Chain A
């Protein structure tokens, strides 16, 4: 099946610093990728839809200036958490599906996630 990778798998940073998370589709091209956030023992909450070559679409309540998304190529989307604070500590997961194969009902694959801890 299609593979989605993320880097780093975990990061610890000081409050006020910025953290960049990379999401890559390894064996397919993804014009769209999705970024989710998951707090402990909670569900996956959609943060934004990342579109290659254009601006991301953010969900209500997600600050676009705090969570910067760049989808500069068909295989890479990045999420930058700017001026991170302890309340931003969470599990960030990206997701994508191969739109070019399998039709509209094909599987949406998830990256392994990035655990962010802000001290």
Chain B
């Protein structure tokens, strides 16, 4: 089955700096890679996702890159703000007409220091 590795486990950055979180996956058939943000005691919220036919996607301060050959993808947050502090999870899945579950990385605890 799919296995997703994520690093670093914790990341502290100064407000305004950039943050980068990296993930690798094992199943070359996976074609959908979302990133979720989870605040303490709350549900995960989708912040951005990317499909395997795209190399990069950007949404304001957030961007995701995907390298299919190397089977890794990264989350980039620019101009970080204190409200970006949370736990971020990457995930991978094979999306077809069926319904397969997301397999999550172990998470990265991001702290943005004001």
Instruction: Report A31-56 residues with CB < 8 Å from chain B CB.
Output: 31-32, 34, 41-46, 49
- Note all chain B residues with C-beta closer than 8 A to A107: 34, 46, 49
Q: How large is the interface on B (under 10, 10 to 19, 20 to 34, 35 or more residues)?
A: 20 to 34
Question: How many contacting A-B pairs (Cβ < 8 A)?
Answer: 51
Majority SS at the chain B contact face: loop
Q: Is the CB of A99 within 8 A of B99?
A: yes
A67 contacts B by Cβ under 8 Å: no
The 8 closest A-B pairs by CB, nearest first: A32-B99, A110-B43, A104-B95, A43-B106, A34-B101, A44-B104, A43-B104, A43-B107
Chain A interface residue count, Cβ-Cβ cutoff 8 angstroms: 23
Give the distance to chain B from A117, nearest Cβ to Cβ, in Å.
Answer: 13
Tell me the B residues contacting A by CB distance below 8 Å: 32, 34, 41-46, 49, 51, 89, 95-97, 99, 101-107, 109
Chain A interface mostly: loop
Q: Are B99 and A97 in contact (CB under 8 A)?
A: yes
